[in-house]
Amino acid sequence: RRQRALLWAVLLAAWWAAWGQLRYSVPEEMPKGSFVGDVAKDLGLQLPALKDRDAHVFDTGRTRYFFLDLQNGHLSMMEQVDREEICAAVAKCVLSLEILVKSPMNIYKGEVQILDINDNPPSFPERRSVLEISENTAPGTRFPLERAHDPDIGVNSLQNYECSESSYFTLDVKNGDDGVKYPELILVKSLDREQQTVHNLILTAIDNGKPVKSGSTTIQIIVLDGNDNAPEFTQSVYKVTVREDVAVGSRLLQVTATDRDEGPNAEVKYSFFKIPEKFDKTFRMDPESGEIVITESLNFDEHEFYELVVQARDAGGLSSHSKVLIKVSDVNNYIPEIVIMSVFSPVPEDTPLGTVIAIFSVQDRDSGANGEVQCNISESHPFRLEKSFDSYYRVVTAELLDREEASEYNVTVHAADGGSPALQSSAVLALRVLDVNDNAPVFAEERYSARLAENNAAGALVLRVRATDADAGQNARVRYRLSEGRVRGAPLSSYVSVQAETGALTGDVKVTGPLDYEEGKYYEATVEGKDGGGLTAHAKVHIDIIDVNDHAPTL
């Protein structure tokens, strides 16, 4: 037992020393099987240890992008990864993984950053667009243009716009509140429809990758006749904050524009201007009232901010534009998820204090306080909860275990987020305590006595002894034997014996042959009970021989 406890102490120390985190980076689009990192070297583990401890990338149900090659200890790509597909517009694309080893149990957290490569050129939704402008439009008027999209990030993403030369227009690029560059066309010279009815420009979007990539669209500007005044919005920017659980069909806000003209030229129609296709199903604008209505459920985790451009256009073809900034606030709508990663069961009852019994993690897809999770475990158990790192926890022994007091435990893990009201979840760790041979047999009596008439038959039952053992299984199975001794020069076993029938808990003390009162008035022996682990107990057996009238008088 001392050796086993020492071994556990060494393994426990190794567990604490080994706890760590791995960080690697790899460019996207690397082929399957590509090298990511030398896990064996970075964790200080020998290759045989990786195999013996069943090291593997833990499967949490998410898509697996990596595997651990036990032949060389390398972490490698499970499949080719497209950063734009898995991380969309996230600036830093990091994939998490967990490497689980056993004997002793341990988990290593790893992060692999997927580096962007310039594999996507900027592109416009349409190769050709039409813009109608009245010849009465004043120089300095701005016209928002449809922006290009580049799924890459950093220098590989869209960096600037260029426009073909024109004596009537110039290009200005603005940075939006969402960090996106928005191209706007500025009229620098009065238009004259009688001189030129159509102007054609080429708008080019450029990134700064190596090599540089670009995409273009043609803008056809049609000059309209008459109508002196364009509609004017009451605000240049409309802002609104809405909860993500707002009901579909709810009114979001209303934009308003006025036109100083009269008659048909003062009739204003509202619409979204070049709304991205992915937002087209989310919002609807009433062309008459300017009301914006939600037509699809919002999701904070997918989009927490929208920047839309709205247009007011009169019957004469003049238009103006304004921005609508929509901020989505998070609602506590995700229950914390408890992922049990490994459970050490059955647990030997002589397990040292501080031994890791289980490892689990918690995840909450909400943000802010709604995504902050606190964990605890049910009380009245000899275990305690420790936080490892990030959202990882371990359950360790806080008290010495005793199988004879409790052979199993159902430890409930509780997780609650910081929302109001808080959402909660729970999971049960079913732990079984493994018996250790820490209890010797105990006889029901210290001394057993019996009386037996002489001249008995061989094999006659004299008495029964019984010893019980609080352990379980083989450790509780008791075998009986008489201690060796001699009676009047003959072995004790030639007079009495003890044996237990199969499955019986008692030992039967029997005589091996007829006993003669005249040879011995009593017999004494020590019976031993030994369990499956080698622990013993002893009791005394005393047999009095009763005389019978088996001798005639002699002269």
User: What are 454's two structure tokens?
Assistant: 């002489």
Which residue among 298, 329, 360 closes a domain?
Answer: 329
For residues 186 and 202, give the distance between their C-alpha atoms in angstroms, rounded to a whole number.
15
Residues 6+ apart with CB under 8 A from 35: 74, 75, 76
Do 456 and 540 lie in one domain? The reply is: yes
User: What are 116's two structure tokens?
Assistant: 């962007």
164-187 pLDDT, tens digit per residue, is: 999 999 999 998 877 788 999 999
Residue 551 lies inside a defined structural domain of this protein: no
Do 105 and 85 lie in one domain? The reply is: yes
* 61 C-beta neighbours (distance < 10 Å), count: 7
Residue 11 lies inside a defined structural domain of this protein: no
For residues 108 and 43, give the distance between their C-alpha atoms in angstroms, rounded to a whole number.
9
Please tell me the predicted confidence (pLDDT) of residue 169.
96
Residue 12 lies inside a defined structural domain of this protein: no
Residue 446, by phi and psi: left (phi above 0), alpha (psi -120 to 50) or beta? alpha
B/e letters for 248-287, b = 16+ CB within 10 Å, e = fewer, are eeeebeebbbebebeeebbebbbebbbbeeeeeebbbbee
Do 391 and 428 lie in one domain? The reply is: yes
Please tell me the predicted confidence (pLDDT) of residue 194.
79
**pLDDT-above-70 percentage for the chain:** 94
- pLDDT at 220 exceeding the cut of 90: yes
Do 347 and 425 lie in one domain? The reply is: yes
Do 284 and 356 lie in one domain? The reply is: no
Residue 368 lies inside a defined structural domain of this protein: yes
Contacts 24+ apart (CB under 8 A), 160-163: 160/205, 160/206, 161/203, 161/204, 161/205, 161/206, 162/203, 162/204, 162/206, 163/201, 163/202, 163/203, 163/204
Please tell me the predicted confidence (pLDDT) of residue 3.
42
Question: By residue range, what is the domain housing residue 459?
Answer: 442-546
Residue 9 lies inside a defined structural domain of this protein: no
Residue 223, by phi and psi: left (phi above 0), alpha (psi -120 to 50) or beta? beta
Domains in the chain: how many in total?
5
Residue 123 lies inside a defined structural domain of this protein: no
| Biggest CA-to-CA distance, the chain | 169
Do 219 and 278 lie in one domain? The reply is: no
Residue 8 lies inside a defined structural domain of this protein: no
Residue 5 lies inside a defined structural domain of this protein: no
Do 278 and 256 lie in one domain? The reply is: yes
Which residue among 165, 199, 224 closes a domain?
Answer: 224
pTM: 0.63
Least confident segment among 284-293, 296-305, 422-431, 496-505: 496-505
| Local structure of 11: helix, strand or coil | helix
Query: Do you find a cis peptide bond into 104, omega within 30 degrees of 0?
Result: yes
Which residue among 329, 351, 366 closes a domain?
Answer: 329
CA angle centred on 460, ends 454 and 461, rounded to 5°: 115
- pLDDT at 6 exceeding the cut of 60: no
Do 351 and 388 lie in one domain? The reply is: yes
- The amino acid at residue 289 is S
* 137 C-beta neighbours (distance < 10 Å), count: 19
User: What are 300's two structure tokens?
Assistant: 């904070």
482-526 pLDDT, tens digit per residue, is: 887 777 767 777 788 888 766 667 899 998 888 888 888 888 889
CATH number for the domain harbouring residue 257 = 2.60.40.60
Tell me the average pLDDT of the chain: 87
Do 185 and 145 lie in one domain? The reply is: yes
Do 241 and 214 lie in one domain? The reply is: no
User: What are 356's two structure tokens?
Assistant: 């890791």
In 116-267, at which residue ranges do the beta strands (DSSP E only) sit? 128-134, 142-144, 158-163, 169-175, 181-187, 198-207, 214-224, 232-233, 237-243, 251-254, 257-258
For residues 547 and 544, give the distance between their C-alpha atoms in angstroms, rounded to a whole number.
10
